Structure 1
Amino acid sequence: MEKKTSIRDRVSQVTWGWFSISMATGGIAVLLYNTPHRFAGLETIGKIVYIFNLVLFKAISLCLAIRFVSRRAALKGSFQHPNETHFIATCPLALATIILGASTYGTPACGPWLITALRVVFWIYVALSTLQAILHNWYLYHLHLASKQPFAIPRLLPSFPAMLSGTIASVLASHQPAHHAVPILVAGITLQGFGFVMSLFIYAEYFYRLNKDGLPAATERPELFIAVGPWSFTALAVIGMAEGAVQKVPVDWLISSSSPESLSSIAPTAAQVSLILASLVAIFLWFLAFYSLCIAILSMFSLCRVFGGQGVPPMSLPWWSMVFPNTGFVIATIRIGTVLQSEAVLWVASAMTILQVAVWLAVLAATGWLDYNTVLFLTALEMVLES
């Protein structure tokens, strides 16, 4: 008679990487809100996706808590595992999408209390993501875990949550009072710059490895889409923060030492110049993201048997890498189309939105019905709820 699998064994299948499902779903909710060409009921669909993401985040957190409590060595082991340790950052990334969704969907519907609460949450997130970036990266350096993770691109993840502070700031600042918006924008551009420069160090090794060793193994190909993220989120963040600066930054900010005669001619254009520069930088970064996206897509197609490949690998968690970074790319396209006032670019972005939602639904369906570990996760959750 086959031995019944215990709940401990089932829950132990859930890893930190499962938060990539939550952050991808939260990203889709934010994308639906930002889509330029809308129809009646789209915002309601976005709210449903956002609430679904909250349920996902809580369920994954619950299963991880059970795993770590029932197996004392599991938490330490997750930090020391050369692959799982890099995906610990998906937890704060999922939290970032929840904050973004709360701001986009909640601010128009709630009172001033939510604006204050989001401001407090932002500073807590900044503090925690900064500590996480410093301590987690130091930990990886200390244990030489990079040498045990030959594929370079997942090493972007420990610095990614701090970088997303800039994206959060670009959304929150426009709703905050001016005296609170300015520090938020300063913190956002600071951490956005930190995360972007840290990603450049990883990009150097990433492209070097592609040139030297060729494409990664088939099971790692979906992770190539992670390279789209830093370019895209930096592009959309700098435009969003510049737009926030136009609305909230005082006219004499940073040039208050100028003479009164020159102040009147210079001050009104300071924030506008920042928006122009941010738009040009975003366009530059957008094409780098597009290049990385094309490399990843071609790498996946080359696995198909119809193109002479050995076949696409079975569904696994790395497939979720095709959702969140690409969502940032679509939103960056929307932001660029908006500042350029280009209806053509916005229609392209709307088409990209449809494709991105289709990819999310396809990966979600494959995860729910084809992945064995997901079946274990759902079974474990059902047993927990019944107990």
Structure 2
Amino acid sequence: MNGDTHHDRKVSCRERLCQVTWGWYSMSMATGGIAVLLYNTPHQFTGLETIGKIVYIFNLVLFLTITFCLSIRFLSKSSALKESFQHPNETHFAGTCLLAFATIIIGAESYGTSSCGPWLQVALRIVFWIYLALAILEAVFHNWYLYHHHMASRQPFALVRLLPSFPAMLSGTIASVLAAKQPREHALPILIAGTTFQGFGFLISLFIYGEYFYRLNKSGLPQPSERPEMFIAVGPWSFTALALIGMANAAVEKFPPRYIISYADPSSGRTGAVTTGDIALVIAALAGIFLWATACFCLCIAIVSVLAPCRAFGGSGAPGMSLPYWSMVFPNTGFVIATIRIGQVLQSEAVLWVSSVLTVLQVAIWLTAALGTIWAVWSRRILWPEKVPQEKGGDKEC
């Protein structure tokens, strides 16, 4: 810091809290994702579930804290909410609130089922449909707003434009977790809705991928400070793979034996040896492997791009801690869980061990990002009014 003269003046806690933006929900997304990952990792040890519950509860506190800080910001200045949507970078991150909430829903199913009664399944079913309605509204109206105000011309980094449609896509991931514990009459519509909006979100992401790869080929890599956001590209492929396999696995039990197939021969009442759910699982597994390979490619490109500026690799030095570094956690968590699902469906112990190693690495990245954020806040590198122009996410003074 050059002199740090701006650090000498007093800044109230309220002023610092008013620097919290929509992008801070990426920390809750990441933390909730880690809690879900710890629950799903194939090689468990005594106490791991307890650790996962602690992380999940911590994420609840983190989500509420970020919401509280944003509320202070928006209530302190009447135009702050409007300005957050007018900022070319911050507006794209409004959807991270729903994404963080999605990890809370999945975590509640994972950790709450063994501790709560049947009421939890009813509550989660209701919350799923509420989440789906909010995700649809976010996808339609937020994208329309971005198109209407030509936000793409003010935000050249294409990948962040995935975020308004990402909550709808994550409906499939939620459905893959909830459907297995729901009664058949409720599981069927959840699975169909999950498939519908998983497909919608994934296809929307393909359109944005086209621009993203075109810009990489034409203009080269983004600025070093933006490169951690390249990990967002890992998300749609990974979450689609794990959602398809998870929903198909639930379909084996929840689909009637001749569901859909009976349309071709409605007069036949026979039960075939191969059911609709079996067919869905085979197709989903093969499609999941197909998608996983592309996710792995995007992951490798992002890793090399982020490491390239580091002095250890001959670069001039990596940028200091900022919110984009949290993009390295949530999408990669989806990649690790997708690897777990593939290992389970292929019954491959080798793949499962690889996923366990990836789990350890992912937790290490999460801890590094958390410690880096704490240090950056303490040293006034972020959440400091006069540092606003250098922060991603469009932080504003109250």
* TM-score, reference length from structure 1: 0.95
Aligned to 2:287: 281
Q: What is the alpha-carbon distance in structure 1 between the residues aligned to residue 82 and residue 314 of structure 2?
A: 42
Aligned to 2:118: 112
User: Once the 2 structures are TM-superposed, how far is the Cα of residue 109 of structure 1 from its aligned partner?
Assistant: 1.6
Q: What is the alpha-carbon distance in structure 2 between the residues aligned to residue 95 and residue 186 of structure 1?
A: 21
Q: Deviations over 1:214-247 (max 9, x none)?
A: 0000100100000000000000000000011001
Q: Please tell me whether residue 148 in structure 1 is matched to residue 154 in structure 2.
A: yes
Q: What is the alpha-carbon distance in structure 1 between the residues aligned to residue 273 and residue 135 of structure 2?
A: 34
Aligned to 1:159: 165
Aligned residues: CA RMSD: 1.6
Aligned to 1:381: none
Q: What is the alpha-carbon distance in structure 1 between the residues aligned to residue 16 and residue 332 of structure 2?
A: 31
Q: Residues 248 and 302 from structure 1, CA distance in 2 versus in 1: closer, same or farther, beyond 3 angstroms?
A: same
Aligned to 1:350: 356
Q: What is the alpha-carbon distance in structure 2 between the residues aligned to residue 151 and residue 270 of structure 1?
A: 42
Give the percent of matched residue pairs that are identical in Structure 1 and Structure 2.
Answer: 67
Unmatched 5+ residue regions in structure 1? 378-387
Q: What is the alpha-carbon distance in structure 1 between the residues aligned to residue 251 and residue 277 of structure 2?
A: 6
Aligned to 1:292: 298
Q: Please tell me whether residue 359 in structure 1 is matched to residue 365 in structure 2.
A: yes
Q: Superposed, which structure 2 residues align to 1:318-357 within 5 Å?
A: 318-357=324-363
User: Could you tell me which amino acid in structure 1 is paired with residue 20 of structure 2?
Assistant: V
Aligned to 1:254: 260
Whether the 8 Å contact between 1:8 and 1:70 is mirrored in structure 2 is no
Q: Please tell me whether residue 307 in structure 1 is matched to residue 336 in structure 2.
A: no
Report the number of matched residues.
Answer: 377
Q: Deviations over 1:12-33 (max 9, x none)?
A: 2100000000010000000000
Q: Superposed, which structure 2 residues align to 1:1-387 within 5 Å?
A: 3-259=9-265, 262-266=268-272, 268-371=274-377, 372=380
Q: Residues 358 and 142 from structure 1, CA distance in 2 versus in 1: closer, same or farther, beyond 3 angstroms?
A: same
Whether the 8 Å contact between 1:302 and 1:309 is mirrored in structure 2 is yes
User: Once the 2 structures are TM-superposed, how far is the Cα of residue 262 of structure 1 from its aligned partner?
Assistant: 4.8
Question: Which structure features the higher share of helix residues?
Answer: 1
Whether the 8 Å contact between 1:368 and 1:374 is mirrored in structure 2 is no
Unmatched 5+ residue regions in structure 2? 1-6, 386-398
SS in structure 1 at match of 2:262: coil
Q: Which moved more, 1:101-110 or 1:221-230?
A: 101-110
Whether the 8 Å contact between 1:252 and 1:267 is mirrored in structure 2 is no
Q: Deviations over 1:123-146 (max 9, x none)?
A: 000001001100000000000001
User: Could you tell me which amino acid in structure 1 is paired with residue 137 of structure 2?
Assistant: L
Q: Which moved more, 1:269-278 or 1:335-344?
A: 269-278
Aligned to 1:385: none
Q: What is the alpha-carbon distance in structure 1 between the residues aligned to residue 382 and residue 34 of structure 2?
A: 20
Q: Deviations over 1:86-114 (max 9, x none)?
A: 01111000000000000000012211000
SS in structure 1 at match of 2:257: coil
Q: What is the alpha-carbon distance in structure 2 between the residues aligned to residue 353 and residue 243 of structure 1?
A: 22
Aligned to 2:389: none
Q: Residues 26 and 373 from structure 1, CA distance in 2 versus in 1: closer, same or farther, beyond 3 angstroms?
A: farther
Q: Residues 179 and 76 from structure 1, CA distance in 2 versus in 1: closer, same or farther, beyond 3 angstroms?
A: same
Whether the 8 Å contact between 2:16 and 2:383 is mirrored in structure 1 is no
User: Could you tell me which amino acid in structure 1 is paired with residue 51 of structure 2?
Assistant: I
Q: What is the alpha-carbon distance in structure 1 between the residues aligned to residue 238 and residue 254 of structure 2?
A: 24
User: Could you tell me which amino acid in structure 2 is paired with residue 298 of structure 1?
Assistant: V
